[in-house]
Structure 1
Amino acid sequence: MPSSEPKFRVAICGAGIGGLALAVTIGKFSDIPVDLYEAKSTLIPEGAGISIRRRTIEILKVLGMHWDLIKICTPKPNMTNGPHFRLSDNSDGGHDWFHQVYPHGGPTSMHRTDMVDVLVKHLSPSTRVHLNKRLKAYTQTGPSEVTMHFTDGTEATTNVLIGADGIRSPVRRAMYENAAQYDPPPFDVSRMEEYCEPSWTGSMIYRSLIPMSKVLERYPDHPAAKDMMFMCGKNKHILSFPVNQGEMLNIVAYATDPANKGKHFEGRWNRDITPEEFTEVFSDFEPMARALTECGENPSQWALFVTNELPFSSLESVALIGDASHAMTTHLGAGAGQAIEDAWILGRILASKHVNMSNVPRALRIHQAICLPAAQRVVRESAKNGLMYDFRSEEQCHAPRSKESLDRWRMDIGKRMAEFIGANGTAANWYDAELQLRDAIVMNESESDADRLLQKVAAMSLTTSDVTSVSVPVNVPCNCYSCAVMLSSS
């Protein structure tokens, strides 16, 4: 039974997919009051289509969103669909490379706005949304109090602050600036800007959302109308997938200059461009690919940035999730899903009856130990896939596209996609981990021993075919792994 008085208050900066998912999770499993601060005047997000994988769908089902997902997903969850790959950098015509199939269900796509609408629908009454609240910085004003300073000159206090505020996260910067004041600091202060500022990948993304009827009118048998497609070429590729129940086609095209990786990017990160500019970038691609660029409506150009690998994502009673912690390239379609996984695990930790104000910092360190290394592995593997789509890996730069080479690269891409996209939550492995943690409670191990055990459990998750846990067997009472560790130190 929930207590009459909440054990602490939580503030979430950023009402994107990760921030909303965290608020939903906390609200489903506790009565903790949540204040959700959004910098914009609306919850309507930027961007168009997103993909989520099987393991993410499992989380959303547990949160009670299954039937809402059915209405917005293209294709329906659990279908064995997978992307088609083509070699497209030949203006006279390309050819099929391979088709990736997921026997147990592949990724499903939707419009980002539809996903946000579903999450908002499931917010609990204990969550209050504040618009036009852009964080400037925060200060830890006491062991159990954080003061948030907003750009409009106002302030607010909370007990726990979560930065879900994106790749240019003010929470992340304030966290590292505060950590730099420690004696000694918990990180190399000379790398402060590397951790606080995003890094340009050297890639430009071209986005467009096209009515499917327009594509089929121009190219009646275009395979993009049915399945996700990758049209690959040297330093460039085009990704397309249906959204809005197949009524629209989402286009995300990439052009990369490897020499620009890590350089300072001049100007705005995104801008509107003309259809002619879009088409010109891919003028050397096959007609099937050019048909999509020529159909583009209101195209835009985005510089692709990532968060550099962080040494930590929590400090005292403040933590980071999603892009604020590990913004990644889009080459595994894992960004939104990883934010939801962060939110799910953190929400369950904070909602646990074993977590209180005195051990919140420890709870946040547990979230970091479980989620940060796993997400950073996804970041690295996503980058590897991007290199291979564009024939920029070390081997591809020096080897001809022979049948043997193409088969080897196909296997490499396929293995990585199957591992990170087609797999479900490793419930059995994490149930074993939970039992180990319960054993630690019975044995009354010290906090340092429990910490070492936690690191062992986190390492276990990284050696399986998946990255982190998201599901619990239906016949197992939900006393999750993190709750057990909390109890061991209480």
Structure 2
Amino acid sequence: MSKDFDVAIVGGGMCGLACAIGLAKSGIKIAVFEAAAAFEQVGAGVGLGPNSLRALKGLGLFDAVLTKSDQPKPTTRLFAFVEGTGTHKQIFDYAESSGVKNCEGLGIYRPAFLDALMPLLDPTCISLNKRCTAIQELPSGRQLLHFSDGTTHETDLVIGADGIRSITRKKVMGDGNDCLGFSGTYAYRGLIPIEQLKAEGVQTPVETRPYCYVGLGKHIITFPIKGGTVLNVVAFDSSAHPGHLLPERPHPWVEIVSTKEIVGGWEGWGDEVQAIVSHLRNPSRWSIHTLHPPLKSYVRKRVVLVGDSAHAMLPHLGAGVGQGFEDVYVLCRLLSHQKTTKANLEAALAIYDELRVPRANMVLEQSINMGKIYENYGPGHYDVEDIRRHIKGMWEPVWHHDLEAEVDGAIRRFEMEKV
């Protein structure tokens, strides 16, 4: 160990494990506490944009992740947008948008991502069945984690990577409202063999690239997996609660529902949409939650948030996981810096907060805006030109942010400060 402080990471998901590996490589003693009894072998697919891949490369994790992806290398997979009703004419092709450069991305399932990272981490650092229930600051300034099994763990720094229902966020925000709420949107997820859809007369080349079917109060995202043989479908329905953040829904947030439920919800849409939803067998329905208004700080003394704990956002930009990896990259750069010691941990965390809050919160707000755009197309609302104007350029601020240069500048300022 090359540092005089140790770190406890609450949560062993994608961001938690990435952070653990990044810190351990730098000689920082780490302990990871995961609430589940085992790393889950279920989960949705995630899309990693150019900014996500740069962060993973900076952490030294990209090659391992690539080996577990369905893709042999990153590719450009930009969305095309089509009408959800009528004949499904194409409205906008993001590939033809001006200024789109260096936008290669990667798709991977969460379990595959975890499988890629696990061999890179000493298994003795990981404790399963450890659900954190509270964090207590000791007179020494150290933090005491309390777990549901009655055990405790003392550490210098707590990193909260415990997701949208974060206990560490409650510590950062205090006893007030932690801003968690139901977005009013349900997402129906499922997989369909593409040959079935082609036999049903689906003409849109959904096997070649991602598509978004837009309309009023609803939209559908499709993207091909398994070499273009299977279609991953996410059908969003916000029609019952448009634009309103509601109280957190009771668990479970993910439920298996009947095909009949989803077919009824898309009555009156075009033939292709009808074919897609009718072929979703026992789809899972996800109650989409978010943090809004965004947190003003991700740090409180020696407790710091990353990923969904800090800025759980709607999936409409496909950018939530990427912002988590950016968090991890910045935090690992700061904590592993030769000047960072136990004495100035809070100064390093203040820089993290300075960099990450405006950046991630901007993406959070844009993810909300994007969903409203997708679901505002139709008579009396957006027309084709409106949709094109609103969508064009939405992803570039996410993809092309120079995070490395931003961190380099912050570290130079850090080096000039007195310890």
Normalising by structure 1, report the TM-score.
0.78
Distance 2:373 2:208 in 1: 24
1:430 is aligned, of 397, 406, 417, to 406
Determine the structure 1 residue equivalent to 2:367: 382
Determine the structure 1 residue equivalent to 2:85: 89
1:151 is aligned, of 148, 151, 154, to 148
Q: Unpaired segments of 5 or more residues in structure 1? A: 181-191, 435-480
> 1:405-430: CA deviations, max 9, x gaps?
x2242132121123324x26365x53
1:240 is aligned, of 191, 200, 222, to 222
State whether residues 323 and 360 of structure 2, in contact with CA within 8 Å, keep that contact through their aligned partners in structure 1: yes
2:256 corresponds to 1:263: no
Amino acid at match of 2:296: P
Amino acid at match of 1:278: I
Deviation at 1:82, TM superposition (A): 0.8
Deviation at 1:280, TM superposition (A): 1.9
State whether residues 224 and 230 of structure 2, in contact with CA within 8 Å, keep that contact through their aligned partners in structure 1: yes
Distance 1:397 1:344 in 2: 45
Distance 2:184 2:348 in 1: 37
Determine the structure 1 residue equivalent to 2:24: 27
Determine the structure 2 residue equivalent to 1:291: 275
Determine the structure 2 residue equivalent to 1:42: 38
Deviation at 1:258, TM superposition (A): 3.6
* CA gap 1:60/1:318 in 2 versus in 1, 3 angstroms: same
Deviation at 1:244, TM superposition (A): 4.3
Secondary structure at 2:362 match in 1: helix
Distance 2:227 2:334 in 1: 35
2:94 corresponds to 1:117: no
2:326 corresponds to 1:341: yes
> 1:186-213: CA deviations, max 9, x gaps?
xxxxxx11xx251121111111133445
State whether residues 355 and 483 of structure 1, in contact with CA within 8 Å, keep that contact through their aligned partners in structure 2: no
State whether residues 211 and 222 of structure 2, in contact with CA within 8 Å, keep that contact through their aligned partners in structure 1: yes
Determine the structure 2 residue equivalent to 1:319: 304
* CA gap 1:338/1:76 in 2 versus in 1, 3 angstroms: farther
Distance 2:188 2:353 in 1: 33
Amino acid at match of 1:343: V
Amino acid at match of 2:101: P
Give the 5 Å matches for 1:42-121.
42-44=38-40, 47-73=43-69, 77-90=73-86, 93-101=87-95, 102-121=100-119
Q: Unpaired segments of 5 or more residues in structure 2? A: none
Deviation at 1:8, TM superposition (A): 1.2
Determine the structure 2 residue equivalent to 1:466: none
Distance 1:413 1:220 in 2: 25
Distance 1:68 1:215 in 2: 34
Deviation at 1:299, TM superposition (A): 0.9
Distance 1:484 1:260 in 2: 41
* CA gap 1:77/1:284 in 2 versus in 1, 3 angstroms: farther
Identity of aligned residues (%): 26
* CA gap 1:358/1:291 in 2 versus in 1, 3 angstroms: same
Amino acid at match of 1:254: F
* CA gap 1:162/1:98 in 2 versus in 1, 3 angstroms: same
Distance 1:314 1:486 in 2: 21
Q: Which is further off, 281-290 or 59-68?
A: 59-68
Determine the structure 2 residue equivalent to 1:354: 339
Amino acid at match of 1:99: D
> How many pairs were matched up?
412
> 1:118-142: CA deviations, max 9, x gaps?
222332x386111111110110113
> 1:358-388: CA deviations, max 9, x gaps?
1111211111110111100001111111100
2:266 corresponds to 1:282: yes
* CA gap 1:266/1:59 in 2 versus in 1, 3 angstroms: closer
Distance 1:483 1:247 in 2: 49
Give the 5 Å matches for 1:159-308.
159-177=156-174, 192-193=176-177, 196-216=178-198, 218-219=200-201, 222-256=204-238, 257-259=240-242, 261-268=244-251, 269-308=253-292
* CA gap 1:197/1:31 in 2 versus in 1, 3 angstroms: same
* CA gap 1:12/1:483 in 2 versus in 1, 3 angstroms: farther
> 1:263-322: CA deviations, max 9, x gaps?
235543221101222222223222222222222233111111111211211111110111
State whether residues 54 and 424 of structure 1, in contact with CA within 8 Å, keep that contact through their aligned partners in structure 2: no
Secondary structure at 2:39 match in 1: coil
State whether residues 75 and 104 of structure 2, in contact with CA within 8 Å, keep that contact through their aligned partners in structure 1: yes
State whether residues 168 and 197 of structure 1, in contact with CA within 8 Å, keep that contact through their aligned partners in structure 2: no
* CA gap 1:45/1:424 in 2 versus in 1, 3 angstroms: farther
Distance 2:366 2:243 in 1: 20
* CA gap 1:228/1:171 in 2 versus in 1, 3 angstroms: same
State whether residues 12 and 37 of structure 1, in contact with CA within 8 Å, keep that contact through their aligned partners in structure 2: yes
Distance 2:397 2:379 in 1: 25
Amino acid at match of 2:282: N
Secondary structure at 1:225 match in 2: coil
Secondary structure at 1:142 match in 2: coil
State whether residues 243 and 372 of structure 2, in contact with CA within 8 Å, keep that contact through their aligned partners in structure 1: no
* CA gap 1:400/1:264 in 2 versus in 1, 3 angstroms: closer
State whether residues 38 and 134 of structure 1, in contact with CA within 8 Å, keep that contact through their aligned partners in structure 2: yes
* CA gap 1:143/1:126 in 2 versus in 1, 3 angstroms: farther
Higher helix fraction (1 or 2)? 1
Determine the structure 1 residue equivalent to 2:351: 366
Deviation at 1:216, TM superposition (A): 4.6
Secondary structure at 1:223 match in 2: coil
2:398 is aligned, of 420, 436, 439, to 420
Secondary structure at 2:15 match in 1: helix
* CA gap 1:32/1:386 in 2 versus in 1, 3 angstroms: same
State whether residues 39 and 134 of structure 1, in contact with CA within 8 Å, keep that contact through their aligned partners in structure 2: yes
> 1:143-164: CA deviations, max 9, x gaps?
4411101112111111110111
Secondary structure at 1:104 match in 2: coil
Deviation at 1:353, TM superposition (A): 1.2
